[in-house]
Structure 1
């Protein structure tokens, strides 16, 4: 896929985060495009997940700024970032294991005991939306199953479905193909492509290079906490700095 110039959805300026003497994210200035599937790759320990956590408010950066649609969202709490239109999944799948598949989606968008807050008509609409999304990701036949009883790959799909419940404009996926069988990886790739064609922007962290290179329009490469290359998949694969980071050559 070719590089995707255009409107910037998410950008960071000199973003940094350290843990003790380890600079997990180090003066990272990046741009990710609106309406595209963006990729973020790099060797193990290059700071990708920490970058995600700083952007989405899971941890505060030490310095620098995060801008979403030119609005400074630095150090916003996660719920506020979500309300701004950014959804995310996690490297280690986060679902509620003892809740049903359907209830996992319902708790993603409102507090417990929703009838006390929204009333029955609102809940009925949420249930209808949840079932539509479960059908979209291929989990509708499992809606009454507890999340702990479905496969890890299905839990990955469930987590993505929960992220979609709030209808985010941008979805950040942290290793969606990790620990997932090839058939489900293909399903995730097709789903991301379809949602992107419908207008959803994506930022994907992934170690599966085939998945990233076939899927993404624009790829940023991290090494030692900072971006070292950006461009189309073909461009970053040929970049000497990227080869050195991955292969030590």
Structure 2
């Protein structure tokens, strides 16, 4: 049963722009993501989706514009301060510590000083219990003592998602969660997103798998050449002439 969540603005940008060497990766992007919903951000390759994500999460600084999260301006905050505010994210290319165990990968995600604390032997029993519960939830608890490099790419995606969940964020940003993942694990990731959303988590998902996007999302925003060109329910967006032109040139 889905938790009742007040619908509103979870995260929004106004006039967000970022250029690289004169090339506009994101241009004057004004976007509102809906709280308590599964929001998808789609667009052709090179349309600025990942750069937009990076600006929102503090990985890179925008040239202009603002990012607001639950009424607070987070535009110039560092990534760790944005994470503490309640935004967690995964990456297009999965980021795990390959020579650390699956369990250690989750524990390092919640250490105040990251890897340094973990290597010093700092282990909190409550955090270990939470990490193990999350491994059960994502379905890789049997790999707890395996080094992350020995997992399949899909399993690493599940591990990365579990790492995001260790911080218990309100809003979760996933950058191509289905990329390079076999169909069985795509189904598992989709189920997890739906379950977590039913519990009140807001999602922002960048994804190229249109079948997944249209079946999973409540609200879809389409980017082309660094700016939003259409938004709305999946069934509306997929028939929008501007979207067809951006993807198909028709």
On whether the aligned pair clears a TM of 0.5, the verdict is yes
Maintained 8 Å contact 1:88/1:173: yes
Q: 1:36-77 CA deviation, whole Å, 9 max, x = no partner?
A: 100000000000000000000000000000000011000210
Q: 1:10-40 CA deviation, whole Å, 9 max, x = no partner?
A: 0000000000121000000000011110000
TM-score, with length taken from structure 1: 0.95
For the residue of structure 2 that corresponds to 1:113, the secondary structure is helix
CA distance, structure 2, for counterparts of residue 159 and residue 115 of structure 1: 20
Quote how far apart the aligned CAs of 1:202 are.
0.4
Q: How does 1:76-115 map to 2 (within 5 A)?
A: 76-110=77-111, 111=113, 112-114=116-118
**Residue ranges of structure 2 left out of the alignment (5+ in a row):** 1-5
Tell me if 1:187 matches 2:191. no
Could you list the structure 1 runs, at least 4 aligned residues long, displaced by more than 6 angstroms after superposition: none
CA distance, structure 2, for counterparts of residue 76 and residue 221 of structure 1: 26
Q: How does 1:157-176 map to 2 (within 5 A)?
A: 157-176=158-177
Which residue matches 1:151?
Answer: 152
The count of residues paired between Structure 1 and Structure 2 equals 242
Quote how far apart the aligned CAs of 1:115 are.
9.3
**Residue ranges of structure 1 left out of the alignment (5+ in a row):** none
Q: How does 1:115-130 map to 2 (within 5 A)?
A: 123-130=124-131
Quote how far apart the aligned CAs of 1:6 are.
3.2
TM-score, with length taken from structure 2: 0.94
CA distance, structure 1, for counterparts of residue 37 and residue 50 of structure 2: 20
| RMSD across aligned positions (CA) | 1.4
Which residue matches 1:209?
Answer: 210
